[in-house]
Structure 1
Amino acid sequence: MTESDDWSFPADVSLEAVQRDLIEWYEADHRQFPWRETDDAYAILVSEVMSQQTQLERVEAAWHDFLDEWPTVEALATADRADVVGFWTDHSLGYNNRAKYLHEAAQQVVTEYDGAFPESPGELQELMGVGPYTANAVASFAFNNGDAVVDTNVKRVLYRAFDAPDDDSVFEWAASALMPAGESRVWNNAIMELGGVACEKTPKCDEAGCPWRAVCHAYETNDFTAPDVPTQPSFEGSRRQFRGRIVSALREHGELEFDTLGHRVRVDYSANGEYGREWLRGLLSDLADDGLVSVDDEAERVDLQR
C-alpha cells in the first residue's frame, strides 16, 4: 500500500526499509519511561491520561505516586473521588475532570468487565473519558492491538519526511500504510519517539541520529516547515487554575460559604466585583457539571461531591 487517492509515498521510498530502520533505531536507544516497560493496561491508561496536558518528564513522578496510592484498577475504583481529584490538583495535572473520568473508568472496568480491561480501541472507547487517541494507545501498548497513532508529532514527521500534504485524511492513511501489521506496540512508540526527540519543532536530525535522513524530503531540501502546532493556553490566571484552587480549598476546609470560598481562591475577590459571586458561580457550575462539587444555591454554600 504505497498510494491513496490524494497522495502517494515517493517512488524511491521502500516502506519495508523505512519500517526496519525506525524500529532498529528505537530499539537501540530510547527514553526510558516506566510505562514503556509494562503491558499493564491500568498503568498505561494512567500514564496516557496524565500525559494529555503534562510534559512526560513531569508525568513520571506523578505516575509513580499515583500507582503507589492506587496500585490496581480495583484500588482506584474503591477510592474516594475527592482524594483522586485532590491528587490531580496537588500534582498540577490539568483539568480535574480527567481525574473524575479516570476514577469512573476504573469503576466501569471492575463492575462491567470483571476487572479485565477490554483490548480493542473500539471497546476501550466505551470507558468514561477515553477518546479515540487514548483508546488506541492503550490497545497498542498494553495489548499490541492498536491502529497507527496520528498525533501532532507523527503529523510533523510525515509532513517533513515524505512531503505529505497537511491533510488529516492523508496523515491517517500514510500512518496506517507505514505501520507493520501486528506491530502497533513497538511502531507507535518508535514513531512518537522520532517526533519527540529528533523531529521536534526545531529538528535534531544529526544529533538524534534520525534513521530517515536518507529519504527525508526536509533533510534534503533544508525546509523544516511543519503544520501549525496548537499551543496550550497559559495555566496562570486561567479558569483551570481557579477550579483547581476551589477543589483544594474544599478538600482542606470542607463545606464553605460562597464568599469565604471566593476569598480563599482569589486575593482580589469581591462579592459584587468583576471577580465576585457571578464569576465564582460560573466556576462552580463547571465543577458541578463535572460531578466534582455540590452547590446549595439557596444557602450559598458549596462542598465536594462525595
Structure 2
Amino acid sequence: MSDAESDGDADTDAGPEWDLPDDLAAVREALIEWYEADHRTFPWRETDDPYEILVSEVMSQQTQLDRVVEAWEEFLDRWPTTADLAAADRADVVGFWTGHSLGYNNRAKYLHEAATQVETEYDGEFPETPAGLQDLMGVGPYTANAVASFAFDNGDAVVDTNVKRVAYRAFDVPDDDAAFEAAANELLPDGESRVWNNAIMELGGVACTQTPRCDEVGCPWREWCSAYGTGDFTAPDVPTQPSFEGSRRQFRGRVIAALREYDELAIDTLGHRIRVDYAPEGEYGREWLLGLLEDLVDDGLVDVNRSGDEPIARLRR
C-alpha cells in the first residue's frame, strides 16, 4: 500500500477533534436539572404553539431577549394567529416592526408571507420537521430547527453563539461551524430537543457568558469543563453587530415610517423627513436615497414612480 493510500485510511478513521466526557448521561442530566431548577422566564418558553415560537425566533434575531418580550406580546395581541396575520395589511406589519426597532423590515414581510403559506398551503397547520419548516418564506435552517425543537420536540441541536461558546470552552470544540454542529448533536439526548436546546442556550446566556460566571450561577459542567480546569476562558470569534445608529437599516426604517404616515412622498420631501443633513446633490442626497429605496423595492415594500419631474415613493399595499 502506498503512503498516500495509508494516509487516506488514517484520515477516514480519525475521530473528532474534541473529546466529550465518557459519561454523557451524567453531563446531560446535570444540565437539565440545573435548567429546570432555575432559569430565566420568557413567555415563549411557556408555549408550544409554533406560530408564537416562530414570531419569537424572528424577533430575537437582532434584538435582546428582554426587549423582545413587550414586542412579542403586542404583536400576538394584534395578530394572535396565522390567519389574523395573513389577513393583515403588510404595511401595518412592517410598520409595527419598524416602530419596535426589530431589525430588517424584510423579516416582517417574510413572517407575513409565511403566515399566508401556512393558511393557504398547509390548511392552517405548521410543518413539524426542520426540513418542512424551511419551506416557509424566510425560515432558514436555524429558525426551522428552533421551531421544530420548541414547538414539536422534534429538532436537532440548536447552535447559536451561546452554544458555540459553551462547546468551545467546555470540550475544546474547534472554532468551526461544522464541528460545533456535530458536537452539539452528539451532546443532544434523543427525543429531548425542547428542554435540551433551551438548557444549553441558557447555560451560555447566564453562566458561560463573555465574562464567565461559573461559580456565581453554579454552572453544572464545572467538573467536566476544560476552561474551568485551565482558567483559559477565551471564546470563538463572533462577528461584531454593526451599529444601528446611522446605519442603512435605521434609514430604511425611517423611510417606511414616513411613508406609512403620508402614503406617498416626493423624493426630496422624503429625504428631508428622514435625515436633517439631506441635500439633494450632497453625499446624502437623491443618489443615496434612491439606492435606499431600490433596496426596499427589491424587498417588495416600496414602489417608486419615476415618470414625473421628481420620483415619488409609495408604500406598497
User: Quick check: TM above 0.5?
Assistant: yes
Counterpart of 1:170 (choices 176, 179, 185) is 179
CA distance in 1, matches of 2:173, 2:117: 40
Q: 1:304 aligned to 2:315? A: yes
Is the contact made by 2:18 and 2:172 (CA closer than 8 Å) also made in structure 1? no
Is the contact made by 2:259 and 2:315 (CA closer than 8 Å) also made in structure 1? yes
Q: 2:313 aligns to what SS in structure 1?
A: strand
Percent of aligned pairs sharing the same letter: 74
Is the contact made by 1:13 and 1:215 (CA closer than 8 Å) also made in structure 2? no
Is the contact made by 1:242 and 1:265 (CA closer than 8 Å) also made in structure 2? yes
Q: Which of 292-301 and 120-129 deviates more?
A: 292-301
Q: 1:294 aligns to what SS in structure 2?
A: strand
1:1-306 equivalent positions in 2, closer than 5 A: 5-10=15-20, 13-299=22-308, 300-306=311-317
CA distance in 1, matches of 2:250, 2:175: 34
The alpha-carbon deviation at position 6 of structure 1 amounts to 3.2
CA RMSD in angstroms comes to 1.1
Q: TM-score, with normalisation over the residues of structure 1?
A: 0.97
CA distance in 2, matches of 1:4, 1:114: 48
The alpha-carbon deviation at position 165 of structure 1 amounts to 1.6
Letter in 1 for 2:158: V
Q: TM-score, with normalisation over the residues of structure 2?
A: 0.94
Structure 1 stretches of 5 or more lacking a match?
A: none
Q: 1:256 aligns to what SS in structure 2?
A: strand
The alpha-carbon deviation at position 4 of structure 1 amounts to 6.9
Q: Which of 281-290 and 170-179 deviates more?
A: 170-179
Is the contact made by 1:86 and 1:248 (CA closer than 8 Å) also made in structure 2? yes
1:4-43 per-residue CA deviation (whole Å, 9 max, x = no partner) reads: 7332425x54111000000000000000000000000000
Aligned residue for 2:7? none
CA distance in 1, matches of 2:97, 2:74: 11
Is the contact made by 2:43 and 2:69 (CA closer than 8 Å) also made in structure 1? yes
1:43-86 per-residue CA deviation (whole Å, 9 max, x = no partner) reads: 00000000000000000000000001101110000000000000
CA distance in 2, matches of 1:14, 1:274: 62
Is the contact made by 2:18 and 2:174 (CA closer than 8 Å) also made in structure 1? no
